[in-house]
Amino acid sequence: MRRAIFPGSFDPLTLGHSDIIRRGVTLFDELIIAIGSNAEKKYMFSIEQRMQFITAAFQSEPKIKVFTYKGLTVDFCKKMDAEFILRGLRNPADFEFEKAIAHTNRKLSEIETVFLLTSSGKSYISSSIVRDVIRNGGDYTVLVPDTVRTS
């Protein structure tokens, strides 16, 4: 079975994430969306909210599973028996950053990282931009799946 992990904070899930997930799921027998937790980071949405956003968005896709994890992504991959890490690339800066992580992960565990380019119409979207739009009362709904709503 070809199993991949798509790790991230997903704070919140964006249309860019959804694009990578919908295209990535066609490449693997199972895609695990892994919501990472970093004690150093301050999140806008709780881990429960983020899990709910993702689960609701992909409830009709049986090949997608959603989990949370702490620690190294490669350790989570071993625990889940995943051979691949899926990552999305929006721009050259993403590539340089992700390349260093992929090389490190490969050195630590021999796991393969698969990169997909975000669709051009979504390459400008990032979770940090969405959070800024939310904080400032803008219409963030054009940047996220319908399952992502705040009160």
Residue numbers annotated as active site: 17, 41, 90, 127
Q: Match 């991230």 to its residue by tokens.
A: 8
Query: Which one-letter DSSP state was computed for residue 69?
Result: E
**Is the distance from CB of 87 to CB of 123 less than 8 angstroms?**
no
Radius of gyration, CA atoms only, the chain: 15
Q: Is 62 exposed, middle or buried (0-12, 13-18, 19+ CB in 10 A)?
A: exposed
